[in-house]
A and B are shown apart, each in its own frame.
Chain A
Amino acid sequence: MLSNIGISLVVLVLILSFLTIYTAYLDLKTSNQFIKVSIYKLSLFQTTFTVLSFFTLIIGFINSDFSLINVYENSHTTKPFFYKIAGTWGNHEGSLLLWINILVIFSYLFLVFNYKHNKRFRLYTLIFQNILILGFLFFLLLNSNPFNSIYPIPLEGLGLNPILQDPALAIHPPLLYVGFVGCSIYFSAAMASLISGYGGKLFAQSIKTWVKISWCFQTLGIIVGSIWAYYELGWGGFWFWDPVENASLLPWFAITALMHSLIVLEKRSTLYSWVIILCLLTFILSVTGTFLVRSGILNSVHTFASDPSRGIYILIFLSFMIFSALIIFFTKHKKETFSFNLKSRETFILANNWFMAFFLVTVLIGTLYPIFLDVLTGVKISVGPPFFNIVIIPLVVPFMLLMSIGPKFSWIKSQNKFFYETLFLMLSAIVINLFIFYFFGEYSLLSNLIFITAIFLILHSVLDAKKFINNINKTGLSRIISHLGFGFLVFFIGINHQFSLEEDFNLKVGEIKKTDNYEINFKNIKIKQSKNYKAVIGNFELTNLKNNLVQYLDPEIRIYSNPETLTYEAAIKTKMTSDLYLTMSNVSRSEYYNIKFQNKPFMVWIWISAIMVALGGFVQLTLKKNED
């Protein structure tokens, strides 16, 4: 029965989307200044039914209603309640329904909150957004329907993947989807802007809140994903330049560039074409990312179960999107003249775009190159962390320099008032870096530059914060927070990378491993039977040879029964100063266990800095005043 309710609701939404497009199209022709009330009502109904359909699926999961194939494949009666709900979006079909929900909700909210803006612009936005919604609805109904039913009804489900039973991972997809799918609304708005001619400052104002919302959630989604990877995946890292991770990073670069460019568009009414390009590009990147992740074209730790038919459909949809965007842009855009002084804030924002484009292209090429090479020449190569690190990290140095001094410049034209301040801060940064270098350990030239520029950025932001508190400069709070967070992020990642201790060795129960800094005693093994898994727990006694501090770590090997999987749970002791990280895996047909041990200084500060970056964005959203 749930199946019928669900499908009926989705079909209703489909009909309403068609109606919305049709009614909006008719309303375009009228000379009335206001949008017809019926359109608001259609949109509201559409939203209501879409949300109801999602709740229907959730209820299916909560009740373990295995008449729905989706619930059968992805849930189990013994799953904890919270994870039953999270199971709704933890699979391809359910997450697609979530995508549609966000598309519809944003469509409605954009319509309502932008009541002050041009009618034709809003109607066209609604039309384009609903075309996107139709595309996704057809995909859902024809290929990935979460409401498909199965008969006879199975008694038990196939179980949710145990790796997905984690609080961070439960909220990671919804956060990321608000980011990914949120960009659809300004994709539609950009198309609408081109067709209706509604551009400039007003256009910037109509979309800026939406850009900020999608940026905040995208940033937060990526952070939560990294935190989850660190605590759950058992390799002590938080970013692997894996194709799925890259797929979430590509829109992020575009949204960041867009967010900064919007400031220029609003302030100086210039850069309109570039803003439009970014609006169109962001959602295109989101859908491309979805294609890469769900079609099975790439080999990755994160992939959903892959299915080539999905890939074909998404590719068709993507092609349609890109070509319509290209055609409309080429036919409707007008050539712009630019007026940028070298010493002006606009130019520095251009520089931000420049670097964002570079980072974006690097990650895009790195991710896609193996596919292109394989298809064109049959040669298979891997492009992994070394490539991305070598290309990107050196450029972070000039990027942070520009990030520090950019905000100092005022709009249009600037004086050299702050030269001595900048010089002083640079010298301080160099001194602080020398201090770290001398007292704590030596590192490469590149690392020196990274530390110096990161500290430079931090000092600048701290100084700006002081000025803000002292009321000298009452603008830019959110920028200060985010830039400061970014400086800290790079700084702590640098420290963590330079001063981490890593060991990889094999040990038997009862043996002791001695390294330069630690003594690791493999005391014993315990077996524990839990609700849906059996755990092999290792007890390790760690003695820090420098200060004789003793700590205990208990990594686990978990054997799940439904579905049959093996996971490795790292033992992590998190302190403000460092993390101790230990994983254990058994060597087949041997009494030995392979142990990976890491001491990671200031690990938790990486998360704090990253959250700070996102926080700046959230502050922007909540402040009513016109910032910057």
Chain B
Amino acid sequence: MKIDITKIIIFCFIAFSLFVFWKGLKNSSNYDTTQLIGSKISNFQLININNYDQYISQEDFKKNKFTLINFFASWCVPCRSEHEYLLNLSNKEIKIVGINFKDKKSNAINFLEELGDPYYFVGEDSNGKVSISFGIYGIPESILINSDLTVIKKIVGPIDQIQYDEILKLIQ
């Protein structure tokens, strides 16, 4: 076989492509938005679900050492399974904000009465637009930020034991 530079290049290119395919198989093809980590949350205004005249903004979060922003709804089944972890966290050095996503106020209040209320503020998001400004695409989802308003963890889906332990580590 005549050694020819074109042939070598083609060979290498094919081998490289097949290698990429093989590696690609290992990667999951489900997309999550963990790239949000490291960025700052944007400015917002959250209206209190119990008092529509009252609201908080990102400035209020600067006062907290750590804030966990948790998106939930009364009609969301997995939200129930993570609620216990939220209640545990509310006793730690972390402030939990709940954002009630596309829900009726009365249902949300009943939900919190039934399962317990870990939130120091519950914001309303009846049309879901607030969730978009936080980069949320489903519920439950939670964002952990520090006093600098930087996102240090994003949890897609309900918080489980592993996530809970990781959060505890981060807020030490």
Contacts and interface: CB of A to CB of B under 8 A. Distances in A.
A374 B20 CA distance: 9
A322 B18 contact: yes
Interface in A273-321: 291, 295-299, 308, 311-312, 315, 318-319
Nearest to B103: A589
Interface string A575-592: 000000000000011000
Most chain A Cβ neighbours within 10 Å, of B18, B26, B29? B29
B1 A375 contact: no
Given A297-B29, A323-B14, A380-B31, A330 B21 contact: no
A72 B58 CA distance: 55
A326 interface: yes
A589 B23 CA distance: 42
Interface in B22-38: 22-27, 29-31
B1 A331 contact: yes
Contacts of A319: 18
B102 interface: yes
Contacts of B7: 330
A371 interface: yes
29 contacts: A295-B25, A296-B29, A297-B29, A299-B29, A299-B31, A308-B25, A308-B26, A311-B25, A312-B22, A312-B25, A315-B18, A315-B21, A319-B18, A322-B14, A323-B14, A326-B14, A330-B1, A330-B4, A330-B7, A331-B1, A368-B17, A372-B17, A372-B20, A374-B24, A375-B20, A375-B23, A375-B24, A380-B31, A589-B102
Interface residues on A, range: 20 to 34
B75 interface: yes
Nearest to A382: B31
Given A380-B31, A589-B102, A297 B14 contact: no
A376 interface: yes
Interface string A380-392: 1000000000000
A326 B10 contact: yes
B11 interface: yes
A312 B24 CA distance: 11
Interface in B58-91: 75
Given A298-B29, A308-B25, A312-B25, A371 B20 contact: yes
Given A326-B11, A589-B102, A297 B25 contact: yes
A371 B21 contact: yes
Nearest to B4: A330
Interface in A320-358: 322-323, 326-327, 330-331
Contacts of A298: 29
B20 A376 contact: yes
A30 to B, nearest CB: 29
A335 to B, nearest CB: 11
Contacts of A318: 18
A591 to B, nearest CB: 13
Contact of A371 (B11, B24, B30, B102): B24
Contacts of A312: 22, 25
Interface string A532-575: 00000000000000000000000000000000000000000000
A311 B18 CA distance: 12
A329 to B, nearest CB: 9
Nearest to B6: A330
Nearest to B107: A589
Interface in A359-403: 368, 371-372, 374-376, 380
Contacts of A371: 20-21, 24
Nearest to B31: A380
Contacts of A327: 1
Interface of B: 1, 4, 7, 10-11, 14, 17-18, 20-27, 29-31, 75, 102
A311 B28 CA distance: 13
A315 B22 contact: yes
Contacts of B29: 296-299
A617 B166 CA distance: 63
Contacts of B20: 371-372, 375-376
A299 B21 contact: no
A554 B130 CA distance: 35
Contacts of B30: 299
Closest 4 CB pairs of A and B: A375-B23, A311-B25, A371-B24, A299-B29
Nearest to B7: A330
A296 B21 CA distance: 11
A319 B4 CA distance: 21
Contacts of A299: 29-31
Contacts of B27: 374-375
A315 B4 CA distance: 27
Given A299-B29, A318-B18, A380-B31, 6 more contacts: A296-B25, A299-B30, A315-B22, A319-B18, A322-B18, A374-B24
B25 A315 contact: yes
Contacts of B22: 312, 315
A590 to B, nearest CB: 9
A400 to B, nearest CB: 32
Contact of A297 (B10, B17, B21): B21
B105 to A, nearest CB: 13
Nearest to A308: B25
A453 B10 CA distance: 37
A330 B24 CA distance: 29
Nearest to B23: A375
The CB with the most chain A CB atoms within 10 A, among B18, B25, B30, is that of: B25
A371 B17 CA distance: 10
A297 B21 CA distance: 8
A312 B20 CA distance: 12
B14 A291 contact: no
Nearest to A296: B29
A454 to B, nearest CB: 36
A326 B12 CA distance: 12
Contacts of A308: 25-26
A295 B24 CA distance: 10
B156 to A, nearest CB: 15
A375 B26 CA distance: 9
Nearest to A379: B35
Contacts of B18: 315, 318-319, 322
Contacts of B17: 368, 372
A371 B23 CA distance: 9
A126 B1 CA distance: 26
A469 to B, nearest CB: 49
Most chain A beta carbons < 10 A, residue from B10, B21, B102: B21
A380 B30 CA distance: 10
Contacts of B25: 295-297, 308, 311-312, 315
A296 B31 CA distance: 13
Nearest to B10: A326
A330 B3 CA distance: 10
Contacts of A375: 20, 23-24, 27
Nearest to B28: A296
Nearest to A295: B25
B35 to A, nearest CB: 8
B21 A291 contact: yes
A289 to B, nearest CB: 13
